[in-house]
Amino acid sequence: MKLLLVEDEDAIAEPLAEGLRREGFEVERVATGAEALQAADPDLVLLDVGLPDTDGFTLCRELRGRSEVPIIMVTAKGEEIDRVVGLEVGADDYIVKPFGFRELIARIRAVTRRQHAAPTPGRVELGPLAVDTRSRRVTLEGREVVLTPKEFDLLALLIRDPGAVVSRAKILEEVWQTTWFGSSKTVDVHVAALRRKLGDPAWIETLRGVGFRVHVPA
């Protein structure tokens, strides 16, 4: 598996690349956004937010526009708004420095497992909302809603049985292909992003301590 590590700080990049190679990954390290855009297509991108020639959010958007390659953003920024922006521009996950190396490996494996999981084909309509898993398109009142890969998979899971409550454990198992749940509250961030893109937070209801369900807003 080939990883593209986009990190400008040698003190961080070199030991990280060495550790990833010991885990069996092929690693190409670049230090700028321009180099990242010129690199050969990887299987996964580890992308730092702070780069000398651009910011990681802009680069993430450019990479996502070119392919569906999984992207994990690696950054010192830990505020929820930074995680939300990263996910909304196309990142599949977000890990904050300093992080444990085993945590990073777990996230890489979870993201790649999800990337190779085939969705159940079909189309589900709930009021004005339609989700087509064959074309991976979402429309609301006839207008297309642009989602990241993870946002789409989360919505497709919730709308599979409209009105039914889906637990966090079930979401992690099916969307992230893992039972591990870190402190970044990845599920909550993706739900928040979906609510914004659907234009009404009432589309996805939170049942505290239980899970989430999707229904047409009153």
Give dist(CA 73, CA 35) in Å, integer: 17
Per-residue confidence (pLDDT) for residue 8, from 0 to 100: 93
pLDDT in tens, 12-22: 999 999 999 99
Per-residue confidence (pLDDT) for residue 195, from 0 to 100: 95
pLDDT in tens, 83-134: 777 777 888 888 888 888 998 998 898 888 766 655 555 888 999 999 998 8
Residue type at position 155: L
Q: Do domains 2-115 and 123-214 have the same CATH topology?
A: no
pLDDT in tens, 132-141: 988 889 999 9
Class of domain 2-115: alpha beta
pLDDT in tens, 36-95: 999 999 999 999 988 999 988 999 989 988 888 899 988 776 666 777 777 778 888 888
Class of domain 123-214: mainly alpha
Q: What is the pTM of this model?
A: 0.61
Tokens of 150: 């993870």
Query: What ranges do the domains of the chain cover?
Result: 2-115, 123-214
Closest CA to 20 of 101, 84, 97, 88: 101
Long-range contacts at 109-114 (CB < 8 A, ≥ 24 apart): 109/178, 110/176, 110/177, 110/178, 110/180, 111/44, 111/70, 111/72, 111/176, 112/1, 112/43, 112/44, 112/70, 113/177, 113/178, 114/70, 114/150, 114/153, 114/175, 114/176, 114/177
Q: Tell whether the model's pLDDT for residue 218 goes beyond 80.
A: no
